[in-house]
Amino acid sequence: MKRIASLLAAMIIGITLFLPVQSSAAYSAKNVIKEAKKHIGTPYKWGGVTPKGFDCSGFVYYSFKKNGKKLPHSSSAMYKKGTKVKKSKLKPGDLIFFKTNGRSISHVAIYIGKNKVIHSVSKGVKIDNLKSYYWKTRYVGAKRLK
């Protein structure tokens, strides 16, 4: 009986050594930004969530999903996630929110450092400066995901 148990234990250990390790893509701000930059120039498409065309939240959703972080596909719903971050404490990978319609949160971008964001706008996926008058005057806040 002990011999059978030992043999079984050895077989189980041996089999597990050859099984593929399943790992979900771990969230990394660096990898999210790397993925996002691959899509510079991708056209804007209302409701778009693929490299054929993105809207702002679809672009953020896609970039994070490719790196193991699932987000809702709505800038206002994304704003409910994460922890608030002061503008002076921004880190690459933080989500930046704007009121472009004058009423409520209507735009989201990914902070990439040095006062720059990457996002999908009417001209497609591009990098913009947070200090530009347009984005500075529409800034609402930022969130950090874990």
* Catalytic sites, residue numbers: 56, 107, 119
| Residue 60 and residue 87 in contact, taking contact as beta carbons nearer than 8 Å | no
CA distance 116 to 129: 4
| Residue 58 and residue 73 in contact, taking contact as beta carbons nearer than 8 Å | yes
- Length of the chain, in residues: 146
